[in-house]
Amino acid sequence: MAKASSGRKLTKKDYEARVPAVREALIQLQIKLQAAPFPVLLVIAGDDASGKGDVVNLLNGWLDPRGVETFAFHDPTDEERERPPMWRYWRSLPPHGRMAIYAGGWHGDALAADPRTPRELAEFDSTLARLTHFEGLLADGGALLVKIWLRLGADAQRDRLHELEGDPDTAWRVSPEDWKFHRDYVRRAALGARLRRATELAAAPWHLVEAADPRARNLAIADALLARFKQHLRRHAARPAPRKPRRITPLRPVGLRMLQAVPLDQTLGESDYAEKRAKWLGRLNRAVRDAAQHGRSIVWVFEGWDAAGKGGAIRRLTSAIDARDCRVIPVAKPTDEEKSHHYLWRFWRHIPRAGRVTIYDRSWYGRVLVERIEGFCRPEEWRRAFEELNDFEAQLTAHGIIVIKFWLHLSPAEQLRRFREREKTAYKRHKINAEDWRNRRQWAAYETAAGDMLALTHRPAAPWHLVAAENKRFARLEILRASCKAIADALERE
């Protein structure tokens, strides 16, 4: 934890002598940060009535407001309530080069809940663990997080409440709850300390700032910001660009073996397929409606070799689902807005509302497949991603979302046959391009990466279904069947 500011009083004269230089330095750094390939997240949290709002407004005045957005999380809206709790923080994240100020941070909700019983405190701790994970994820993604904690002693708190009440312009800011919390100062301060301990991170430490004297407080905050801004710019400049690796070596050979053990000789005759398909489509339709009636959303993930039949399988699936409740998200090159956010942001964007369906045609697993192989991210980044992806899905499933993941498997020979067929058929020609052929030449690399992915992200709550896709009919039916089962199992466990 960063050292607390001294808490000495500052004369108005001393303060005003220092402010212009501080403001200019801040603006200068803000300009530099605007060109930086990372966002800046500024958390202004603190003890009750410690002046968080004043600080937020001060910083908005000192900084160029065109590059800053301020967020305060009040009661979640219904669109937010229907998604995992972290969704509303994810959607607030600024792109590279911009700054967000979080009044109360994402920590405010946890403190407002005012936990007391052992059970409430356990929930408080688990919320904090989730927030810590979130901050770690953002910091690992390159974001600069500056977390300020405004500390206010009991006497200073009482004085401040009186002062606010005394001015007709600010009296409205003092509520009966403020006085209630003041009478309970020791317990509330301990809660704050518990929060700071739980959410302390090397990459995102708390800066403790004495808040009793606003002038000293302001300068202490400015000093912390300036130091962190400079440090982060320096560190980032020193960071080498990622490079394409020469070789892809397996982390978990068992995954590769799983993949190679998929029996590709399974087939299904035309008439057999037609009959079974009708039955399973009907079942799937009922299963999806059942899930919706229980307020459960479904997220399908389709990964697999080029030409393995993802598109066709998705088309069969959607034919059984009411299109009004279903979105298909084709995951290709990110848009520039997506590129200037954490790599998971573009997937959080499309998480369905309660009772709806999102089908991802390729997904967040691109991080450990194409990005690993082509060197679009650094080795430590894709290595870390396995755990990040597991955690992301754990958040979905914890919220009741049913996650169904398919890997469509294929032999190189069958892929070649399909590529050639596509090239011959006029209306399929758009489905094949130079990139497909390039990926094909890297078959072994993709196989290794896919093997690691399967081994490291196969979890009970979000298991992988390996589908033999050598025969399209067999694969499509298998997908219908596995989907029905996954939904039924999830509803049964309720």
Q: Does 288 bind a second copy (CB under 8 A)?
A: no
**Any residues with CB less than 8 A from the CB of 168 and at least 6 apart, and which?**
none
Contact between 315 and a second copy by CB under 8 A: the answer reads yes
Q: How far is the CB of 423 from a second copy (least distance, A)?
A: 15
Exactly one of 327, 417, 420, 438 binds a second copy (CB under 8 A); which one? Answer: 327
- d(C-alpha 37, C-alpha 26), whole Å: 18
Tell me which of 265, 270, 336, 492 binds a second copy, using CB under 8 A.
336
Candidate list 361, 374, 391, 436; residue touching a second copy; CB under 8 A: 361
Q: Which residue among 22, 43, 49, 103 contacts a second copy (CB under 8 A)? A: 103
Minimum distance between the CB of residue 405 and a second copy, rounded to whole angstroms?
18
**Does residue 311 belong to the site contacting a second copy (CB under 8 A)?**
yes
Instruction: Check binding of 337 to a second copy (CB under 8 A).
Output: yes
Cβ nearer to a second copy, comparing 194 with 346: 346
Among 427, 434, 460, 492, binds a second copy (CB under 8 A): 427
Cα four-point dihedral sign 311, 317, 322, 325:
negative
Q: Which is nearer to a second copy, 153 or 355 (CB)?
A: 355
**Contact status: 112 vs a second copy (CB under 8 A):** no
Q: Does the protein bind a second copy through residue 285 (CB under 8 A)?
A: yes
The one-character DSSP state at 164 is H
Rounded least distance, CB 366 to a second copy, Å = 15
Asked if 466 and 410 count as a contact pair (C-beta separation under 8 A), the reply is no
Task: Provide long-range contacts, Cβ within 8 A and 24+ apart, for 353-356.
Answer: 353/79, 353/82, 353/83, 353/297, 354/82, 354/295, 354/296, 354/297, 355/291, 355/292, 355/293, 355/295, 355/296, 355/297, 355/325, 356/292, 356/297, 356/325, 356/326, 356/327
* Backbone CA torsion sign across 347, 350, 353, 358: negative
Among 1, 6, 21, 24, binds a second copy (CB under 8 A): 24
Question: Residues 186 to 245: which contact a second copy by CB under 8 A?
Answer: none
Taking CB under 8 A as the binding criterion, the range among 182-190, 272-280, 307-315, 477-485 that sits at the site for a second copy is 307-315
- Provide, rounded to whole angstroms, the least separation between the CB of residue 427 and a second copy: 5
Query: CA 82: distance to chain centroid?
Result: 16
* Token reading at 404: 């169904």
What span, in angstroms and rounded, lies between the C-alpha atoms of 477 and 418?
Answer: 20
Under rule CB under 8 A, residue 299 binds a second copy: no
**By CB under 8 A, residue 270 contacts a second copy:** no
Give least dist CB 473 to a second copy, A: 17
Neighbours of 177 (CB within 10 A): 11
3-state secondary structure of 462: strand
Q: How are beta strands 402-409 and 464-468 bridged, if at all?
A: parallel
Among the residue ranges 54-62, 202-210, 435-443, 464-472, the one whose residues contact a second copy (CB under 8 A): 54-62
User: Is residue 41 within the footprint of a second copy (CB under 8 A)?
Assistant: no
Asked if 318 is part of the footprint of a second copy (rule: CB under 8 A), the reply reads yes
- Judged on CB neighbours under 10 Å (0-12, 13-18, 19+), 339 is middle
> Is position 275 an interface residue for a second copy (rule: CB under 8 A)?
no
* DSSP bridge partners of 125: none
The DSSP string of 84-143 is -TTHHHHTTPPPTT-EEEEETGGGHHHHHT---SHHHHHHHHHHHHHHHHHHHHHHHTT-
The encoded tokens of residue 202 equal: 């090397």
C-beta of 474: minimal distance to a second copy in Å? 21
* Residues from 167 through 196 that contact a second copy (CB under 8 A): 169
Q: How far is CA 71 from CA 57, 77, 100, 110, in A?
A: 12, 14, 7, 16
Position 120 contacts a second copy (CB under 8 A): no
For a second copy, the binding residues (CB under 8 A) are: 24, 27-28, 31, 53, 56-57, 59-61, 64-72, 77-79, 101, 103, 169, 282, 285-286, 311, 314-315, 318-319, 322-324, 326-328, 330, 335-337, 359, 361, 427, 430
